[in-house]
Structure 1
């Protein structure tokens, strides 16, 4: 059985190069659309929306967008769907419910940028998991990339500069990191037989059902408002960020993200997704006037340098003839 990695790094020629290029474009599109979620959610929190309601409505709209595509991609293979009910439940619980609800809980307590950067220590967790579980020891350039990204994280948090962080917000962001790592690992798994679009749609649908159940038993904090929100200094109707959260930052983001994971693998896909941090910080500046400091911007550049180093590390592994995919279980 193929492992969760399928990290197919290539030299950029032929069909494999086209797959990688397509995967990178899809991963960047996913990161860009995911990056909008913090700003839109933050604008709703200011009017009385709770993270629970925001996550539930976002997931429900995203599922409505993705499910028709997921059913079409399945092409009547209901046996494959039944065989993967456990996987879809876990994906919905961790990669959908866990990642977005915990992230929104973090954003309610701290700024979008730091919350995103704590969540996106997930790529380092992915590298560690692949090493521990499958013996995929990262090469020196990949390790250098991880260290650069970690150094960038320290600078973005600006702890040395005396920045104060809400302890509860940090804890929620770390929980979101666990969900994000699961998202990258499951996305890269070819062994389930599920089309990537079906995996995204099923995960969103199961995640919505799980959150709905938690809301019914009053575990998920619920609350909403129809008051106008402020985005980019302008007042707009409440439903505008709600629709954008569901369609763009959920439906489109998950569909492109899962497709990218199948083409790139868990490790490379996770590091390219760090672009979401840069996009999220930029969107937070534009939409909710949260401007990072110079030190935090330098940290963002280090994180991008880490992504480049990881990409180069993957290419060197392939050039040396070492296996990077198809680890047999």
Structure 2
């Protein structure tokens, strides 16, 4: 009898510990139970280039995995720059303490928490190409992120286009998500500074009959500056051929009738939160509004050599009215502790707002 009682006490103790753990994870909830969400991650390179920062990015992906059901997460969107340097064995200890292989292995391990649970869509950045920063179009991305690693991609990927080395890769790829309220959403990501043929592939894809009525979310690494939300142009990277943000707008986004949201990262300065974000709305050639959002928070938490971004991410809640998206800026790093939980949500107008995707 005493033995049975002791076992019961142990079981109840374990359940209590589990419950406490779930509270510490600071699960979030939707504004409307009929919504679904997508999570937006800014450039991870600041987390990945230092071993002491790497657990912070893993905390983000662990938090996402823990919130898939209660936030009804359909996809995770990442603006790129997964690593600080794509292919370099000589470390500049003033700015990192990891080799390229160590960085790729770590960022791959962090995303592994989402494999088999939710699709994640990554637009590779300038630091993901060349040796240190896009001296050429070589990348190790396909080596670490083949489509076979996450079978959740199988359910939604509808197209892909060869990368700069001529290989099929998720660098240029498209995914379909559907709901009764929103109909069909097509998410398309492009490589950094996409080539003309990539822009033409994207334009032809979204013009197909099956996608002409879809609303398109487009992701590329470089589109907006942080200072005035002007489009990027005349960047000094050697990668070629290329199109910067202004050319991407002129050649793809403006002429296309159904791109309603364009996401990017890349830009940012040390300073306040406003230095890490940008947002603007313009009409395309059919007078349809295109929302454009830049989100790259890697300098928050101590600057370029700080902790990588204080855990900030964005929750994009697609409301069941089929047209409005509620944007919230949240940090699981602050949210996980009772001592800092009050800092976990940003409430400025540029941090918490709604977009109407016509």
TM-score bracket for this pair, using the shorter chain length: under 0.3
| Greater strand share, structure number | 2
State the TM-score, normalizing by the size of structure 1: 0.26
| Greater helix share, structure number | 1
Which has the higher Rg, Structure 1 or Structure 2? 2
State the TM-score, normalizing by the size of structure 2: 0.24
- Work out which structure has the larger RCO, using CA pairs closer than 8 Å and 6 or more positions apart in sequence: 1
